[in-house]
Structure 1
Amino acid sequence: MDKSIRDPPTAVLLHGILGSRKNWGTFTRRLAQEFPTWQFLLVDLRCHGDSASIKKRGPHNVASTASDVLKLVWVLDATPGKVRAGGDGEDHPAELISFLRKLPKEVSSKREIVNALIKERFSKDVAQWVVTNLQTNGPPGSPSSHFSWIFDLDGISEMKFVENLPRGVHVNFLKAERSLHRWALEDLQRIHAAEDLAAEEGGGVEMHVLEDAGHWVHADNPDGLFRILASSFRGFKA
């Protein structure tokens, strides 16, 4: 951060459902190097990671989550409506959460969970990503060590996109070209219909498409994502 700026602009990068602040570590370092006048903050959203132990008053939705952080939101490859799995549907979020509910709160190994998820026809990538939500509860390598989950599934299950955005909030939707989630025409129409209304309320809604990327946008096409997000930082007046 450039210390000569009294009140530097701050960017808060938010992870997705069942993620954590660690998801954006590498990409955020790149942003910080390119935009040294900005300061960057990675957070665990309510019901996720280290924030899961902090009991927040409901409802748990995008409006309350946004108010936890700041009034600029990028929604990366998540639809404003009902999530529709793409392909053969193996990684549908609702089905994943439902399966995780059946698992014990404490497990003996991450490999055990990965194998269980793959057996239930979830992809290997998603299985390996899910276990990043496990933390050790004992000395690593000791016979008595075990793992516990660092999320609140009850709170996460409530998180659905709201129709009416908080006043002044600017939301940018980014759709991955090869998304695992199918974006229905009605969802796209809702985004475009919200653009004029949001402008009247002092906010805004914009739609972007990231080419050559699946759902893991920051890993599949980091250069393309960087170019799209960079406009937010270059266009900001401190």
Structure 2
Amino acid sequence: MARLIRNKQGIPSTLLTRFLNSPSSLLTLPYYSTSKRSLRTLAYEEIQANPNKPYTHTAFILHGLLGSARNWRSFSRTLVSSLSDSPSEWRMVLVDLRNHGNSAEMEGLDPPHDLVNAAKDLGNLINSKGWESPDVVIGHSMGGKVALQFAKSCGNRDYGENVKLPKQLWVLDSVPGEVTSDNSDGEVEKVLQTLQSLPSTVPSRTWLVNHMLDLGFSKSLSEWIGTNLKKAGGEETWAFNLEGAVQMFHSYRELSYWSLLEHPPKGLEISIVRAEKSDRWDADVITRLESLASPEGDGSAGKISVHVLPSSGHWVHVDNPKGLLEIMAPKLKSLMP
């Protein structure tokens, strides 16, 4: 059973969400300490298996569009558990990107709301806390492109000398190039257009889910959208800044990171995980990615690896968390203390 934690205002927050539960076989874990922070830069949560021990390694985890840090709590706890037998002590930092989760209410996260500034927010967070740079950055969907932008900017030293390249970058079911109408089914656009057509408050979560179902959206998607509501008096309102998120989505579609994949910086391994059943990948993109997968080499440049997550759609941490863990954990364990 998940431990209940409280933030500074004394509001309870469960460690697992209804929609994003992992299979029960993955939930027989030790208890974990989870701390929550809200900064002027970004809101984030920390998960560490042994909070009384100093951590030796840090991984940042970045959610996708209209998501939040809480979407990744369950998988992060499972990942920490799988790493507990290594000599390293891992800390997971689950970030709420700008316009999302608790960061949606943060002051100082000014426009333009694009991936360049979303990645810069990470650099500002590191600098403001005086942290060392994360060893690993993990990004899902839109968060995967934020991770790629972060690595690109670190390579250019855009955030100062203190913010260095991570050793590993994980891009989870995120197409690295431009996303055009030709290689998109348009579902995300339809969701955003639907949300924009609604008032800023709705009667209840049940009303929203039923409304989405009536419009032809799937039950799982409708329920997930419903998890992004928060109380506003007697009604419910969005837990994200919708207009800012829409701007971030446009940036996600427009930016391409093929050049980074073709010339990865020395010391960085970029691991691309493609979900086997995901509808976001064209055959030519898959072929191009596989051609970039690099052998060990002589160490003069970075490395690209490509993995296929079987029996999974786009929601990799929900559809096949065990398989994702089996791909990621050995590589994280390979990082020396």
Alignment TM class, shorter chain as reference: 0.7 to 0.9
> Displacement, 1:230?
0.6
Matches within 5 A, 1:53-202: 53-54=105-106, 55-58=109-112, 60-61=114-115, 63-69=116-122, 70=134, 71=166, 72-81=168-177, 82=179, 84-85=183-184, 89=185, 92-138=187-233, 145-156=234-245, 157-160=249-252, 161-163=255-257, 164-165=259-260, 170-179=269-278, 181-192=279-290
Q: Secondary structure at the match of 2:270?
A: strand
Alignment correspondent of 1:235? 334
Relative contact order, higher structure (CA 8 A, sep 6+): 1
User: Quick one: distance in 2 between partners of 1:187 and 1:33?
Assistant: 34
TM-score (norm 2): 0.58
State how far apart, in whole Å, the 2-side matches of 1:78 and 1:120 are: 27
State TM-score, norm by structure 1.
Answer: 0.80
1:29 aligns with 2:77: yes
- Structure 2 vs 1, CA of residues 203 and 27 (structure 1 numbering), >3 Å: closer, same or farther? same
SS of the residue corresponding to residue 308 of structure 2 reads strand
Structure 1 alignment gaps of length 5 or more = 139-144
Aligned residues of 2:55 and 2:91 also touching (Cα < 8 A): no
Relative to structure 1, the CA distance from residue 7 to residue 209 in structure 2 (aligned partners, 3 Å threshold; closer, same or farther) is: same
The one-letter amino acid paired with 1:112 is: W
The answer as to whether partners of 1:59 and 1:158 remain within 8 angstroms in 2 is no
- Once the two structures are superposed, residues 84-135 of structure 1 have per-residue CA deviations (whole angstroms, 9 ceiling, x without a partner) of 45xxx5x721221122111111111111111221122111100100111111
Instruction: Name the CA shift for 1:193/1:52 in 2 (closer, same or farther; >3 Å).
Output: farther
- Distance in 2 between the 1:93 and 1:192 partners? 26
CA shift in 2, pair 1:58/1:206, >3 Å: farther
Contact 2:82 2:329 in 1 (8 A): no
Percent identity, aligned pairs only? Answer: 33
Q: CA deviation at 1:48?
A: 1.1
What CA distance in whole angstroms lies between the structure 2 residues aligned with 1:17 and 1:46?
A: 10
Structure 2: segments with no counterpart, 5+ residues: 1-48, 123-133, 135-165
Partner residue in 2 for 1:142: none
Matched pairs, number:
224
Alpha carbons of structure 1 residues 53 and 192: separation in structure 2 relative to 1, 3 Å:
farther
On the 8 A contact 2:293/2:306 being kept in 1, the answer is: no
